[in-house]
Amino acid sequence: MVKTISLLGVHISRVNPFFAAGQICQWVTQKYHTYVCVAPVSTLVTAQRDSQYMSAVNGAGMVTPDGMPVVWLARAKGCRDIARTYGPDLMLEVCKQGQMMGLRHFFYGSAAGTLEKLEQRLKADYPKIVIAGSFAPGFQENLGFRDQEAVDRINQTQADILWVGLGSPKQDFWMQNHRPLLGVPVIVGAGAAFDFLSGVKPQAPKWMQNSGLEWLFRLICEPRRLWKRYLVGNTLFIYYVLKDFLKLTGHHHA
C-alpha cells in the first residue's frame, strides 16, 4: 500500500512522479482495480465543504500532491519523502515507464482536437507507446452518472490505463461512479494535463511551478475562469490550515 499523510482530512500519498508512475504500472500488472486523484490546493479546499467530494477523493488508491502548497504543508508536518506529483508530469512518467511493458492507454475527456494533438505529442516523445483509443465527451453540463457510450467504448479496447481529463471535482466523481463499470485496471484523473501536454494551453515556466506560483500564471492566462478557484480558494486554504494548526496547538494550552 502507498503511505499517506492526512492533510485537512484528505489522504495525500507520500509519492514523487517516478514512484507514483511505478506504482501505477505495478497495479496494471497485478490487474488491481483502482483510481488515482491528483490533488492541488483546490481539492483540499472543496473537500472541506463537500463531504461527498472528500469521500470520492479518499476512495482513490492514490491521491498525488499536485500543488506546491500541498507539498509544503506535508513537509511542515514532518513528511520528507514527498514531492510535487503534478498531472502532466505523472502522465509523461507513466507513458515512459509503460512503453517498455506495452501498456495500452485510453484518453477520455477534453475536446477531439486536443486529444489528437495530445496523441501526436506522446507518440513523438514515446515512439513505442500504445494508444488503445480516445473519446471526447464534449462539454455536456451533466455527463450523468452513467456515461454508457464511453464505458462500452473503453471496455472494448481492453485498455490498461484510462486517463480522465474532465477537471476537478467532476473527474473525481466520474472515476468513483464509473470504477465498478470499467474493466480497465487503473483510472487516473489527469486534471489539465490534456490541455497542457497537447499545447492547447500554455504551461507555467518551471521556476514558477517550483516556487508555487503556477496559480498566478494560470490566473493571468484565464482570469475569468479561474479567479474564484485561486483568489478565494487560496485564501480559504490558508484559513483552513491555520484553523487546523491552531486546533492542534490549542490542546497544549488547555
237 found inside a domain? no
At 140 the pLDDT is 60
Check if the beta carbon of residue 191 is closer than 8 Å to that of residue 171. yes
224 found inside a domain? no
Range of the domain at 41: 4-195
At 143 the pLDDT is 52
For the chain, which residues score pLDDT lower than 50?
Answer: 254
148 found inside a domain? yes
Task: Give CA torsion, residues 16, 46, 190, 38, to 10 deg.
Answer: 10
At 247 the pLDDT is 81
38 found inside a domain? yes
At 178 the pLDDT is 95
At 141 the pLDDT is 54
Q: What is the CATH number of the domain that holds 139?
A: 3.40.50
Check if the beta carbon of residue 39 is closer than 8 Å to that of residue 74. no
170 found inside a domain? yes
238 found inside a domain? no
At 254 the pLDDT is 47
137 found inside a domain? yes
- Cα–Cα distance, 211 to 82 (Å, whole number): 16
22 found inside a domain? yes
Number of structural domains (the chain) is: 1
